[in-house]
Amino acid sequence: LRERAAHLEEAQKLMLGAEFGFATLEEISCLVPVLAALCPDPDRVAPGLSDLMVNAVEHGNLAITYKEKSLLKWDGDWEGEIRRRLALPQFLGRRASVRVDRAAEGVTFRIVDQGEGFDWRKFLDFDPERAFDPNGRGIAMARLTSFSSIEYEGRGNIVTAKVNFG
């Protein structure tokens, strides 16, 4: 087992890039530890990476609005609603992707969803008006604690998060 772990660690250092598709919370839970392990401090990167990937599924691919998520979080059936929407004809087959690239200067994660996008600018920083909402802080937290930088493209359905080495 120890030898296998050493081989995995060596293989991770050799990796230049990879791309993964995901659609469910379970798939995200499977991918996040593997992807975060490519970074020097996986425990710092994992929560932010998870938040960005979950956003791609729930808000992007499944069109759950901020307000809907707030209500679902208060009701406690957020995960059930995600499972329900995954089976709806308009969302069936939608997948998000995460592309990871590793270079001498750091690791880059590029997450793309099939949604309409959103106004990401108002979520980069903490907003006192959302302080008591059960959601709405993930992007700001990821930007401040997990990554060296986060950049959204176009309509907001593409986000690139970077972890710089050193």
pLDDT averaged over the chain?
86
pLDDT, tens digit, 9 for 90 and up, residues 109-145 = 999 999 988 776 665 665 556 444 444 556 667 777 8
What is the phi/psi pair of residue 39, to 5°? Answer: -105, 155
What is the phi/psi pair of residue 31, to 5°? Answer: -80, -40
Which whole number is the average pLDDT over 101-105? 94
Q: Residue 142's closest CA among 15, 56, 25?
A: 56
pLDDT confidence of residue 148: 94
Q: What is the pTM of this model?
A: 0.86
CA–CA distance, 79 with 2 (Å, rounded to integer): 36
Which whole number is the average pLDDT over 79-103? 95
CA–CA distance, 93 with 74 (Å, rounded to integer): 28
The percent of residues above 70 in pLDDT, for the chain, comes to 87
Give yes or no for residue 76 having a pLDDT over 80. no
CA–CA distance, 1 with 25 (Å, rounded to integer): 28
